[in-house]
Structure 1
Amino acid sequence: MSKTLRTLKVVIPDGNPLNYKQVVGGSDCVMHVLSRSFCISENLNELKGMQRPALYLLIDEGGKGYIGQTKGFAARVKDHLAKKPWWTRAYVFVSASGLYNTANVEYLEYIAIRAAQESASYDMSDNGQTPTNPTLHEWDRPEFDEVFEQIKFFLLCERCFIFEKVEECAAPAAPPLEKQEPPHPLFYAKRKGIVAKGYPLLDGTKSFVVLKGSLLNVEVTPSFDFLKQREKVLESCVLKSKEAYELCEDYVFTSPSSASGVCNGYSSNGFEDWKLEDGTTLKSYLDQITK
């Protein structure tokens, strides 16, 4: 079987790949990957490409998707933040040189929605009916068919299978195991029965990822040090009960202490408060693996 080498370049402007990154490779098409919390907290008008015609996808981890086109994602996303509470990640595709026009992205939207509906891999109910075949010169269509193939490749590298048929992207059944090990050792922070879980990035920084589904205490102590950061995190949460918020997406903190503090609602030492199931503290774990 012949193989063709393909190269992608990934740029992570703020150092946190779960917040925002740009991906380029082999064509004029650029993919911007943005978390919902990044779209809420940052001024997207300051990002190059966010005011250009674009194809975009909204995705959640549960297999729901939405495809659209816009004259500028920075303005369009405000409506989606207000009216579509379910999505956690956006993929935005623009021309690096600004060559795409409205007709181009309308055509990309048309073939993208058709491909997603035919694959039936994601719930596309928010898209309703397939848009009508747009007016694009026949001699331009092959060029944008190639752009769409590049978009599909980008998404495959992101492990987003929205355009792949279920039987094509399904992995062979693995032999039964007594217990599947998580990709990262999971640490837990608990207060009054409210449990958050996450893991250290181990990327040379002190960054700590708190996972989607973690619970944050509603109650905050008077001496709490992370009020502003907590307010920002709560934009990515829903009220689960009188006692707890639930985090709707993975969230990267700059340190274990800010992570445990925001989750528990009081100032804490994250290296001691984050613990494995067996009670091992994060500090002890890090000491062991760095020996």
Structure 2
Amino acid sequence: MSRAIGRSLELYYIDGRPDGMLTAEMFNWTGHVLMAPRTQIATALAREEAAYAGIYLLLGEQDGEPLAYIGEGEDISARIRSHDVKKDWWTSAILVTASANKLNKAHARYLEARLIAEAKAIGRMPLENTVTPALPSLSEADIGKMEAFLENILVVLPAVRVDMFIQRVRSAPKAAIISTPTRPFTQPEPEARFVLENRKHNLTAFAVLEDGEFVVEEGSQARREWASAHMHGYSKLHAELKHAGVLTEDGERCTFAKSYAFQSPSAAAAVVDGRPANGTTEWINVATRQTYKEWEAGRIDAAQPDEALA
């Protein structure tokens, strides 16, 4: 099994403000990412790299719903000036270029097409792009370079607050291997598994803690609509999962059509219950009948170093 390799990322807040312009670069990568709020777009477009070839993302909202646009250009600043006039919904821009302007038009078109396809496949944010462009003709070597460049883009974007390319849908678990006299098989120790039972609305959901992620399993049930008058950030997540096809309507409730990795037990519980929820107390360990909070506390205590050996 290959070991995950850490990466070093440098963020630079240009004007010293966490909500202002920033750049992001990674060690041993020629890529350069510039994020600018629309209020600072004139300053951003005056920078040298803004006139390079590359791709850009415009992010914002339209009619209360998130929206994004992915584009490319030989001179990104010229393209964004055009969109600044024609589009009034976007509130921030992300410019992706390469040092010394090493990307050409074909490279930019390839990256644009791949990012559009990736965004549509994940489905976390609607795109204003109605058509997925065809991939341009590149040499085998250039395709390899652009795929490596794209991989780094997808690592850097979440660091500049762009999470639309994070894939949280998880594949179903592999079928168990059957033990036979000639091929004995020892089932590995199962991951911790939890259940949430909402008796009022006749909902049952199962989840596992797997590789540090809280994954609600395919087939679990959830409220059909966000029921709370309090419009929490989780209400947008509930709507997002329906839009992406992770939650599908099934009579008076929804069903998880795919397993999905949440950032916390509370996020998972809120989507299941259709209201803000404390997931640390609502999820119950299937084996021990402890709440997630109690189970987690026991695991933390067990992980304490032995004072006698300190």
How many residue pairs get aligned? The number is: 175
- Relative to structure 1, the CA distance from residue 158 to residue 29 in structure 2 (aligned partners, 3 Å threshold; closer, same or farther) is same
- Relative to structure 1, the CA distance from residue 113 to residue 43 in structure 2 (aligned partners, 3 Å threshold; closer, same or farther) is closer
Secondary structure class of the residue paired with 1:127: coil
Secondary structure class of the residue paired with 2:141: coil
Unaligned runs of 5+ in 1: 178-291
Secondary structure class of the residue paired with 1:100: coil
Secondary structure class of the residue paired with 1:42: helix
1:274: which partner in 2? none
4+ residue stretches of structure 1 with deviation over 6 A? none
Check conservation: 2:44, 2:50, Cα contact below 8 A: no
Alpha-carbon displacement from aligned partner over 1:202-223 (angstroms, at most 9, x marks no partner): xxxxxxxxxxxxxxxxxxxxxx
Larger radius of gyration: 2
Alpha-carbon displacement from aligned partner over 1:68-107 (angstroms, at most 9, x marks no partner): 0011222211121122111111111100122110011111
Secondary structure class of the residue paired with 2:139: coil
User: Which amino acid is the alignment partner of residue 58 of structure 1?
Assistant: L
Secondary structure class of the residue paired with 2:100: coil
- Relative to structure 1, the CA distance from residue 11 to residue 43 in structure 2 (aligned partners, 3 Å threshold; closer, same or farther) is closer
- Relative to structure 1, the CA distance from residue 140 to residue 12 in structure 2 (aligned partners, 3 Å threshold; closer, same or farther) is same
- Counterpart CA distance in 2 for 1:51 and 1:76 is 10
Secondary structure class of the residue paired with 1:133: coil
1:6: which partner in 2? 7
Identity of aligned residues (%): 24
- Relative to structure 1, the CA distance from residue 43 to residue 145 in structure 2 (aligned partners, 3 Å threshold; closer, same or farther) is closer
Check conservation: 1:34, 1:90, Cα contact below 8 A: yes
- Where do residues 77-226 of structure 1 align in structure 2 (5 Å cutoff)? 77-124=80-127, 126-167=128-169, 170-174=262-266, 176-177=277-278
CA RMSD across the alignment? 2.2
- Counterpart CA distance in 1 for 2:107 and 2:147 is 10
Check conservation: 1:121, 1:166, Cα contact below 8 A: no
Secondary structure class of the residue paired with 2:138: coil
How far residue 145 of structure 1 moved from its aligned partner, in angstroms, is: 0.2
Unaligned runs of 5+ in 2: 170-259, 270-276, 279-310
Check conservation: 1:31, 1:93, Cα contact below 8 A: yes
TM-score normalised by length of structure 2? 0.52
User: Which amino acid is the alignment partner of residue 109 of structure 1?
Assistant: E
How far residue 142 of structure 1 moved from its aligned partner, in angstroms, is: 0.8
- When you count strand as a share of all residues, which structure comes out higher? 2
- Relative to structure 1, the CA distance from residue 105 to residue 2 in structure 2 (aligned partners, 3 Å threshold; closer, same or farther) is same
User: Which amino acid is the alignment partner of residue 93 of structure 1?
Assistant: V
Alpha-carbon displacement from aligned partner over 1:187-209 (angstroms, at most 9, x marks no partner): xxxxxxxxxxxxxxxxxxxxxxx
Secondary structure class of the residue paired with 1:4: coil
How far residue 16 of structure 1 moved from its aligned partner, in angstroms, is: 2.1
- Counterpart CA distance in 2 for 1:10 and 1:28 is 15
